[in-house]
Amino acid sequence: MTLLNNEASKYEHLFRLNRTLDYVRDHCAEDLTLAKLANVACFSKFHFHRIFRTALGETINQYVRRVRLEKAARMLTHNKDQSIIDIALDCGFSSSQNFAKAFKAHFGVTPTYVRTQYNWGRMKNILAKAESEDREDVPSQGAPNKDNDCSHSGPLIKRIVEQRASLPVRVTEMPGYWVAYARIIGPYCLKTAAPAFVQLLQWARPRGLINEKTLILGVLRNDPDITPVDKCIFDACITIPESVKSDGRINVQFLRGGKFAVYHCEIDPDGHHEAWMRLITHWLLSSGYQPDNRPYYEIIYHMTGEYPPGRHVVDLCLPIRPS
């Protein structure tokens, strides 16, 4: 996310923009007009349009359309019992025709193609076959994104399936968490995430919000196979009491609980993506579960000094539901 020039107003602007991004994510089926979202952000329509485009690199209408289409792509792959028209309506489109046209323009394929070629059952069978046949041309997990240099490469999955091992995964009901967060938009990697954690911890420590009960989390809001990597949202979070409120510098949000697969592991700082792929390939494929549409997140332990430590001890928390 591009930072605005005036240091005094930078955090206030980002605070309001983050509130708007969260609102779009949670209300994308509603009529999201410029006037309505400007009101959420507490800007005039003129200033909101200008500030949003400067910070995000796209207009508010482009952003809303993209969020709706990306949500629809995830639902097409995971919600096998929901009709395409119902998915279109749930994502804020007025008709299946408008949805199909926008979807094809954005992804280059039809919603029906994604439903048939990238549904969870078919992807599960392809990945399982790749495991037995030692294939390199393994497709990615999500719907195709013509703009992405996909990080879920065949050679990576090939290496993972060759090193198959039993993982210490537990299925559990996770609670919901109130969290304070600092947001970064860009590729999911250490270089991108580190400044967000630095900003968050510098804010939290003087306020006495870091103690033995505090959890430090990294929330992955997007699927890089669907969302352009430079548009992916990462939230560096700490758990907080519900009484802690946003202060114009750091935002607050609620992370929904529910059933999760939790994989405890120790990894190199650049090994997060591979660890997630191991969880999917070595456990999820044969588990009887499939990914749910709630955000993935990591609980990060031993973050006592500057981020990052030499090794990351983490719980990978994958939201799941029965296949």
Boundary (domain end) residue, out of 80, 115, 150: 115
Are both 63 and 195 inside the same structural domain? Answer: no
Are both 289 and 181 inside the same structural domain? Answer: yes
CATH number of the domain to which 57 belongs: 1.10.10.60
Give dist(CA 295, CA 297) in Å, integer: 6
Give dist(CA 174, CA 184) in Å, integer: 25
pLDDT for the residue 135: 45
Domain for residue 154, yes or no?
no
Boundary (domain end) residue, out of 115, 138, 154: 115
Alpha-carbon torsion 90, 92, 95, 96, what sign?
negative
Domains: count for the chain: 2
Are both 92 and 206 inside the same structural domain? Answer: no
Domain for residue 101, yes or no?
yes
Boundary (domain end) residue, out of 69, 92, 115: 115
Length of the chain: 323
pLDDT for the residue 297: 97
Question: What residue ranges of the chain have pLDDT lower than 70?
Answer: 1-8, 123, 126-165, 302-309
Domain for residue 104, yes or no?
yes
Domain for residue 145, yes or no?
no
CA distances from 80 to 23, 50, 88, 290, 295 (A): 27, 40, 14, 11, 19
Q: Could you list the residue range(s) of the whole structural domain that residue 194 is in?
A: 170-322
Are both 310 and 186 inside the same structural domain? Answer: yes
Residue whose token pair is 């009960």: 213
How many other C-beta atoms are found inside a 10 Å radius of the C-beta of residue 154? 15
Domain for residue 120, yes or no?
no
Are both 176 and 55 inside the same structural domain? Answer: no
Domain for residue 228, yes or no?
yes
Are both 88 and 191 inside the same structural domain? Answer: no
CATH number of the domain to which 315 belongs: 3.20.80.10
pLDDT for the residue 79: 86
Query: How large is the angle between the packed helices 60-78 and 120-133, nearest 10 degrees?
Result: 70
Domain for residue 107, yes or no?
yes
Are both 297 and 203 inside the same structural domain? Answer: yes
SS3 234: strand
pLDDT for the residue 2: 44
SS3 103: helix
Domain for residue 293, yes or no?
yes
Are both 17 and 99 inside the same structural domain? Answer: yes
How many other C-beta atoms are found inside a 10 Å radius of the C-beta of residue 1? 17
